[in-house]
Amino acid sequence: MKTSSSDEYEASVDLQMKGKSRNGSSFAAVTEPDFSEEKPPSPELRRQNKSSLLRSHKSTGPRTQRGKDKSKNNALKHGMFSKPVVLEGESQSEFRALHNGLREDFQPVGTLEEVLVEKLAALLWRNRRLIIAEAAEIRVAATFCEWDLRERHREEASQFPEPRWNGGLIKRIANPEALEGCLSLLRRLKDGIEETNFDTKCDEEILDHLFGNYYDRRADWRQGIRYSYWCWSGYGALCKEKGEEGLATFQRCKDEFLAELRHEVKRLERYKKEQVAVLTNKLELESLRQYVPDSTRFDRLLRYETTLERSIERLLNQLERTQRMRQGEPVPTPINLNVTTSKE
């Protein structure tokens, strides 16, 4: 137990040290805060602290090494190749998904491996575009096959020579446009005779267009409708000259020719149905053939595909060698084979 003299000595030393520092300078006395007077936090502050604590527990982030490796690329939006490779109308997000998938597969380390992986993604994206272009070529050829056939028929019909001096339009009914023209002219001839009887001037013009002119040796007018018209119209005109006595015979001549005319129209309509059936089957087969494009259209795509496949193969080899060198594994010596066909 300390004596009273020692207690007095320690008290005097404390009083002296309160006004002096270690180097002899004066300093202010430091007093400790009184925590007994501190106010408790408000209810609102307590709620905010509680919500912050809950959020910190929820957003802990990935805990496994694999999750950390994947999350380290979350801030990567695109690389150096994404902007020039992804064209307008293509999906930037799909390219990023392809790029991220390749990163996960190859796990690149360092700038060189990162660039090689992204370049591989660009080549595979171009290969995807090539497949889309190939499908478009097939769709265009198959979808518009019928349209192209009709356009060829129209162009062929527009280049027909003057029918009346070239055997008539009836000789070209293999063309659907010509067949439809023949049917239209025959119906026009039938309607005109039914309304106004035989009108030689107007009827001859239609018949010349259909079956050829009288002086055209290639015309087959001496048989069929053209010959029938010449016979029945001539005989009817003779009967009509007899007045009331020949009217019945004239009407009979008119009815006989109209019957032959209707028969010719039905014949061409049957031919039209058969033609439509044949062309439909032909179009179906032609559409199936377009699933393998001809060499003239497909050669450019094949050359581009070959170039891409070679570039992808070289890039994969380069990436494999780079990663093996980084990991300290043995790397085989590259083989450069140069082939020349020139004679020395």
- List, as one string, the DSSP characters of 271-290: HHHHHHHHHHHHHHHHHHHT
Taking only the tens place, the pLDDT of each residue in 247-294 is 778 888 889 999 999 999 999 999 999 999 999 998 888 888 777 766
Residue 110 Cα to chain centre, angstroms: 38
| pLDDT value of residue 21 | 44
Write a three-state SS string for 235-271: HHHHHHCCHHHHHHHHHHHHHHHHHHHHHHHHHHHHH
Give the HSE-up count for residue 175: Cα atoms under 13 Å, Cβ half-sphere. Answer: 19
pLDDT for res 62: 64
What is the per-residue pLDDT for 259? Answer: 93
- pTM score: 0.53
CA pair distance 225, 12, nearest whole angstrom: 150
Give the per-residue pLDDT at 338. Answer: 64
DSSP result, 46-79: HHHHHHHHHHHHH-----SHHHHHHHTTTT----
pLDDT of the residue at 270: 95
Going residue by residue through the chain, which has 344 residues, state the pLDDT in tens, using 9 for 90 and above.
444 445 554 455 454 444 444 444 444 444 444 544 455 667 676 666 666 655 555 555 566 776 655 554 443 434 556 667 888 888 888 998 999 999 999 999 988 999 999 999 999 999 999 888 888 888 887 788 888 888 888 888 888 877 777 778 888 899 999 999 999 999 999 999 998 888 888 998 898 888 877 666 655 545 678 888 888 888 888 887 776 666 778 888 889 999 999 999 999 999 999 999 999 998 888 888 777 766 676 788 888 889 999 999 999 999 999 999 988 888 887 776 666 666 55
What was the pLDDT predicted at 233? 87
What tens digit of pLDDT does each residue of 193-226 get? 998 888 888 998 898 888 877 666 655 545 678 8
Residue type at position 326: R
Distance from C-alpha of 22 to C-alpha of 1, rounded to nearest angstrom: 30
Classified as helix, coil or strand, 330 is coil
- Cα–Cα nearest to 264, from 197, 179, 144, 328: 179
Res 117: pLDDT: 92
